[in-house]
Amino acid sequence: MTVAETTKVPPVAFISYSHDSRQHKWWVAELGRNLRRKGVDVILDQWDADAGDDLAKFMERSVSSADRVLIICTETYVQKADEGKGGVGYEAMIVTGELVQDLGVKKFIPIIRQEPGKDRKPKFLSTRKHIDFSRDDEFDEKFDELVRTLHKAPKDPKPELGPNPFAEQDTSIRETVGEINPSPPLREGGHISDPSLSAYRSALDIATSGDRIRWRKLVQKAITVFPGKLNSWRANPDPPFPTSGQDLPKWAAGGLATVPDLFAIALAGVESGQDYFNNQIGVIEEILNPAGWERSGLVTLVHYPEFLGFVYQALIGGVALQTTQAHLAERLARIPIENLYDGESYPLMESTNIIGWPDSLNHTVTIAWKFLMDLPEIWPWLLEVFGTVEFYRAAVCAYYELLNIIEFLDAVNRDMDLSQLERIRLYVPVCFAVVPEAIQRRSARILDENRPFVRDLWVKTGSTLKKQQQWSDWQKLMLRWITEVYRGRAFAKIPHDRFVLGLQA
């Protein structure tokens, strides 16, 4: 972005903070006054909320209408936000809702105001880049950074992109995801010729034969080779790291060339149905923590292993459902994943970067879901595993529908009031409701083939009568999520509703 692209209309910034002390309240007001002097239209409760105003609605309007939201992260604010206490807790839920809806990934700016050396942020903002105002002697420097951020006037603007010096040597520009990893040649009879397909077939033969020694060596080799390939790709990516967000899927697809053999072997193990070989959940730890991976730099690049984890869990879950091994999918959903920022561990299905919002795809669930649905275009060998593109998509949808049911049952176990729609955050994306009806019907059949296991989960959770009402509230939550994420697109039914109603019978 160049200086010429700075804002002409004054940016609007809402300041969200906790009333820790009179001194802190004064500091926040002084920050707001300084910003207004620099052409930033600040929304602050001290100025814009009168006695008698509905503070909850004021916060909702402010978060929604502001171009940027400045979140003053004191120790008290972080604690209240994470625990959902008071106005800060309610505000945090509004902010989280906007993040989940993909409304402006850069909208929320954490402002650190703690003891020097600390940079705690609320969990829902743990991956966001912050500005550290902890040291008063650095205020002017940090304030300048904040003002430039709000006005989109970087101190060191990105240089203009020059022409390709090698354009005459190679005039073929790859413009589609499919061209990054072109479809492998077809053998006579239409069968795919692909090294990953060979790896899958070899692994399936070994697993079905029960040869544990050969299997262990095969898996160990794939795991050992993978980090080197990934680090080499990072150093010299093909295609290069993009200059715009719309090119992220092409770039991300290029990195998949480092893992197809490992993924193919794991999928073969699950498909075998053999107890020793189908336990491929632990492989995700290797994928998320590759040896030698540098954990500094741009979030989009640093979190690329989480993108690989996103693809891996969807494929493993899809095969598990297709082969009536829903118990494997549930175990996968509950595996603890360590958060890189706060060191805490959360179930995979509550790890947003992995379950549906990978940072390498702009932390945008709609982009990630489309990438997932179109994956066979990049990896045609997946059709050997799933049969057809339609069966592949249905299997992945069935997996996410199962995750949705598990999330619902967890909410019931926690005795959450599901009628409070504005206070509930869905971790598992509900994108499976936007696929064509034929895919929905097929996913329903796959889910129904796993009915015994799902019914056992259902029976263990609460009374049937109570769950009927709670499921009705859960449906409203899902429809609200769909309408918000897909910008007003409404759906008359939830794909797995009939299946769930059958569980209640």
Q: pLDDT averaged over the chain?
A: 84
Q: Which residue has the tokens 């650095």?
A: 138
- For residues 9 and 39, what is the distance between their CA atoms, to the nearest angstrom? 9
170: pLDDT strictly greater than 80:
no
316: pLDDT strictly greater than 80:
yes
Express each pLDDT in 5-33 by its tens digit. Answer: 444 578 999 999 988 889 999 999 999 99
Residue percentage of the chain with pLDDT more than 70 = 85
Mean pLDDT of 354-365: 94
Q: Which two tokens stand for residue 415?
A: 């005795």
Mean pLDDT of 325-342: 88
Bridge partners (DSSP) of residue 70 are: 15, 109
The per-residue DSSP string of 106-133 comes to TSEEEEE-SSTT-----GGGTTS--EE-
The per-residue DSSP string of 51-97 comes to TT--HHHHHHHHHHH-SEEEEEE-HHHHHHHHHT-HHHHHHHHHHHH
pLDDT attached to residue 462: 65
The set of residues, in sequence order, having a beta carbon less than 8 Å from that of 356 and lying 6+ positions away, is 310, 365, 368, 369, 428, 429, 431
- For residues 142 and 147, what is the distance between their CA atoms, to the nearest angstrom? 9
Handedness of CA 363, 364, 368, 371 (dihedral sign): negative
Q: Of 305-319, 406-420, 475-489, which gets the smallest average pLDDT? A: 475-489
pLDDT bracket for residue 158 (50, 70, 90)? confident
The per-residue DSSP string of 217-248 comes to HHHHHHHHHHHHHHHHHHHS-SSPPPSSGGGH
pLDDT attached to residue 196: 85
pLDDT attached to residue 164: 62
Mean pLDDT of 462-470: 73
pLDDT attached to residue 50: 83
- For residues 301 and 234, what is the distance between their CA atoms, to the nearest angstrom? 8
Read off the pTM: 0.64
Give the H or E element holding residue 23: helix 22-37
189: pLDDT strictly greater than 90:
no
445: pLDDT strictly greater than 70:
yes
Mean pLDDT of 63-78: 88
380: pLDDT strictly greater than 90:
yes
DSSP letter (8 states) at residue 186: B
191: pLDDT strictly greater than 50:
no
Express each pLDDT in 422-435 by its tens digit. Answer: 788 899 999 999 99
DSSP letter (8 states) at residue 165: T
| Cα separations in angstroms, 229 against 6, 248, 260, 442 | 40, 20, 11, 37
Strand, helix or coil for residue 172 = coil
pLDDT attached to residue 19: 87
Q: Which residue has the tokens 């990105």?
A: 158
Express each pLDDT in 220-232 by its tens digit. Answer: 999 999 999 999 9
| Angle at alpha carbon of residue 248, lines to 245 and 253, rounded to 5° | 170
pLDDT attached to residue 467: 79
| Angle at alpha carbon of residue 387, lines to 384 and 388, rounded to 5° | 115
DSSP letter (8 states) at residue 156: S
pLDDT bracket for residue 331 (50, 70, 90)? very high
pLDDT attached to residue 259: 95
β-pairing, 68-73 with 41-43?
unpaired
| Cα separations in angstroms, 88 against 4, 252, 488 | 37, 36, 28
Helix axis angle, 304-322 to 365-373, nearest 10°: 50
Handedness of CA 409, 397, 344, 106 (dihedral sign): negative
Q: Which residue has the tokens 């770039």?
A: 251
Decide: 433 and 495 in contact? Cβ < 8 Å.
Answer: yes
pLDDT bracket for residue 345 (50, 70, 90)? confident
- For residues 107 and 110, what is the distance between their CA atoms, to the nearest angstrom? 10
Q: Of 5-14, 95-104, 438-447, 462-471, which gets the smallest average pLDDT? A: 95-104
Q: Of 242-256, 301-315, 489-503, which gets the smallest average pLDDT? A: 489-503
Q: Of 57-61, 164-168, 333-337, 342-346, which gets the smallest average pLDDT? A: 164-168
Express each pLDDT in 275-312 by its tens digit. Answer: 999 988 889 999 999 999 998 888 899 999 999 999 99
Task: Count other C-beta atoms under 10 Å from residue 306's C-beta.
Answer: 22
Phi, psi of 340 (to 5 degrees): -65, -20
The set of residues, in sequence order, having a beta carbon less than 8 Å from that of 321 and lying 6+ positions away, is 329, 395, 398, 399, 402, 446, 447, 449, 450
pLDDT bracket for residue 463 (50, 70, 90)? low
Mean pLDDT of 244-261: 91
Residue percentage of the chain with pLDDT more than 90 = 54
Fold topology of 3-151? Rossmann fold (3.40.50)
183: pLDDT strictly greater than 60:
no
Mean pLDDT of 393-409: 96
162: pLDDT strictly greater than 90:
no
